[in-house]
């Protein structure tokens, strides 16, 4: 009887671990008014199918975004207007709104997709910034784009967008 209970608990842990394996940021905290190097981890494909592209959407208030090219992957950015003009080494009213890497990542492997950006003071200490991430596979897709309701944690949604918690930074000019 004990063996059965332990086996069930182990199976539950494995299933829970699989369910929470998704797109996630390596460093989950950053200061506002500072640059942030984001390392987005993709830990599996789509139900056994290889990943063919990863798109990260950049939220308003994250500016001056520059993605890192990845050997063997094509890189494309989409630029657009910001909701307001930011002052960072001069006025900035437009920039990268999304980044897409296209290549092949087998299901049994993981990969990291890197970019840097400026976290503005639009984000207050204790707030959370979400980076909706689309993972398209040879067959199927994983849309890590759900943002929990205010006050809820990421476990309250099925496919949470990768989250970054903001700490109080200091002003640089």
Task: Tell me the average pLDDT across 126-154.
Answer: 92
Q: β-pairing, 51-57 with 91-105?
A: antiparallel
Residue range 147-155: mean pLDDT, rounded: 79
* Mean pLDDT, rounded, for 116-140: 96
Q: What is the pTM of this model?
A: 0.84
Radius of gyration of the chain (CA): 18
Q: How far apart are CA 45 and CA 158, in angstroms?
A: 16
Residue 11 in this model has a pLDDT that exceeds 60: no
57-90 confidence digits (pLDDT tens):
999 999 999 999 999 999 999 999 999 999 999 9
Q: Assign 170 a pLDDT band (cuts: 50, 70, 90).
A: low
Residue 157's pLDDT is what?
87
Domain 22-167 superfamily per CATH: Uncharacterised protein YcnI-like PF07987, DUF1775 (2.60.40.2230)
Average pLDDT, the chain: 87
Asked if residue 8 has pLDDT above 80, the reply is no
Q: Which pLDDT score is estimated for 37?
A: 98
Q: Among 14-18, 74-78, 130-134, where is mean pLDDT lowest?
A: 14-18
- Predicted pLDDT of residue 171: 59
Residue 173 confidence (pLDDT) above 80: no
pLDDT tens by residue, 88-97: 999 999 999 9
- Contact call for residues 36 and 162 (beta carbons, < 8 A): no
pLDDT band at 43 (very low <50, low <70, confident <90, very high): very high
Tell me what pLDDT residue 9 has: 42
Chain position carrying tokens 């308003």? 60
Q: Rounded to whole angstroms, how far apart are CA atoms 17 and 70?
A: 28
């Amino acid at each position: 009887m004990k063996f059965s209970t332990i086996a069930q608990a182990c199976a539950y842990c494995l299933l829970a671990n699989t369910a929470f394996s998704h797109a996630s940021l390596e460093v989950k905290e950053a200061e506002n008014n500072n640059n942030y190097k984001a390392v987005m981890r993709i830990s599996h494909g789509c139900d056994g199918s290889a990943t063919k592209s990863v798109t990260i959407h950049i939220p308003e208030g994250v500016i001056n975004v520059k993605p890192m090219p990845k050997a063997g992957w094509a890189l494309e950015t989409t630029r657009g207007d910001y909701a307001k003009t930011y002052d960072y080494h001069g006025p900035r009213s437009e920039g990268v709104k999304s980044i897409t890497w296209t290549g092949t990542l087998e299901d049994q492997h993981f990969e990291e997709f890197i970019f840097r950006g400026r976290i503005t003071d639009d984000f207050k200490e204790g707030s959370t910034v979400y980076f909706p991430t689309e993972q398209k596979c040879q067959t199927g897709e994983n849309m890590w784009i759900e943002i929990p309701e205010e006050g809820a944690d990421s476990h309250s949604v099925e496919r949470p967008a990768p989250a970054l918690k903001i700490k109080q930074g200091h002003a640089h000019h």
